[in-house]
Amino acid sequence: MPKGMLVIISAPSGTGKSTLCRRLLQRRKDLRCSVSCTTRSPRPGERHGKHYFFLTREDFKRKIQRGEFLEWAVVHDEYYGTPRHFIDQQIKEGHDTLLAIDVQGAAAIRRKIPDAVLIFLVPPSMESLKERLAARRDSSESVAKRLANSRGELTAAKNYDYLVVNDDLERAVDQVEAILTAERLRTSRQELRELAPHAA
Ligand code: ADP
Ligand code: 5GP
């Protein structure tokens, strides 16, 4: 069985990464999604275990010490991390898995798993980024922090395999689906040995 492919999506906060991932998961029922741990407080409507595992700083640090994260990083002054066990299992079982993580996390994954697919999502403009952050009703402090960090995050885009503009949501989802389809068709991800034993 071919092993699962890791698909990393990063974007400045407020670009629409969570919205795009939700839509993509509705369309691609075969895709799995990693649920991260974080020390930030839940936003209205966010549920423990569905959107994030919301942990205290003590619990998070304990998990770091036990090596339970594939990667972790401090983003906007809070801890975020990808649970290692879930990802190992999905890869082994052949499930393609989506991770919506920041640029530090993406760089760490690239070092550990070089064939992960890295997609960077950008807003159509800084003005629309501000509007989207405001629409989410984040506090003004949180909006300011996220906007200030967005410039540094945008410079990391060059390290990604693909750049997608989230202007029209459905078009952006179409483009990400096209990337997934092409990446799955890579010779290196297919079991050539079974199809043509002499060519492998
Ligand atoms: P992120 O996960 O990148 O921080 P969200 O998915 O929470 O961002 O989206 C931030 C806000 O932008 C939400 O209110 C969402 O509905 C809105 N949004 C997302 N994508 C689009 C889009 N293509 N056009 C307009 N608004 C969008
Ligand atoms: P938010 O608080 O807006 O949900 O996320 C803030 C930032 O943390 C986003 O860039 C998001 O992608 C990132 N993030 C979420 N989970 C993880 C994770 O497990 N690891 C890393 N490195 N970043 C994460």
Instruction: Please name which of 128, 176, 139, 162 lies closest in space to residue 20, comparing C-alpha atoms.
Output: 176
Q: Is 76 part of any domain?
A: yes
What average pLDDT does range 42-50 have in this prediction? 94
> What share of the chain has pLDDT > 90, as a percent?
80
Instruction: Please name which of 10, 31, 20 lies closest in space to residue 105, comparing C-alpha atoms.
Output: 10
Mean pLDDT (the chain, rounded): 93
40 lines ligand 2 (CB under 6 A): yes
Tell me how many domains the chain contains. 1
Q: Which atom of ligand 2 is the closest one to the Cα of 108?
A: 22
Ligand 1: residue of 9, 18, 19, 146 to mutate (most ligand atoms within 8 A of CB) is: 19
Q: Is 167 part of any domain?
A: yes
**pLDDT > 90? residue 85:** yes
pLDDT in tens, 89-114: 999 999 999 999 999 999 999 999 99
In the three-class reduction of DSSP (H, G, I as helix; E, B as strand; rest coil), residue 11 is classed as coil
pLDDT in tens, 20-29: 999 999 999 9
73 lines ligand 2 (CB under 6 A): yes
**pLDDT > 60? residue 200:** no
Ligand nearest to the Cα of 133, by number: 1
Burial of 38 (0-12, 13-18, 19+ CB in 10 A): buried
pTM over 0.85: yes
- Give the helix, strand, coil percentages of the chain, each rounded to 5: 45, 20, 35
Task: HSE, CB side, 13 Å, CA atoms: give it for residue 181.
Answer: 9
- Domain membership of residue 18 as a residue range: 6-185
What is the C-alpha radius of gyration for the chain, rounded to an integer number of angstroms?
17
How many angstroms does the Cα of residue 102 sit away from the middle of ligand 2?
A: 5
Ligand nearest to the Cα of 107, by number: 2
What average pLDDT does range 54-79 have in this prediction? 97
Q: How far apart are CA 108 and CA 35, in angstroms?
A: 17
The pLDDT, as a whole number, for residue 192 is 74
**pLDDT > 80? residue 196:** no
Q: Which atom of ligand 1 is the closest one to the Cα of 12?
A: 3
Burial of 164 (0-12, 13-18, 19+ CB in 10 A): buried
Give the number of other CB atoms < 10 A from CB of residue 125. 11
> pLDDT band for position 194 (50/70/90)?
low
Q: How far apart are CA 124 and CA 179, in angstroms?
A: 20
Q: Is 135 part of any domain?
A: yes
How many angstroms does the Cα of residue 191 sit away from the middle of ligand 1?
A: 38
What average pLDDT does range 112-117 have in this prediction? 96
Q: Measured in whole angstroms, how far is the alpha carbon of residue 193 from the centre of its chain?
A: 31
The pLDDT, as a whole number, for residue 195 is 66
14 lines ligand 2 (CB under 6 A): no
Nearest CA to ligand 2 atom 10: 102
Q: Which atom of ligand 1 is the closest one to the Cα of 169?
A: 23
Q: What CATH number is attached to the domain comprising 75?
A: 3.40.50.300
Ligand nearest to the Cα of 166, by number: 1
Q: Is 197 part of any domain?
A: no
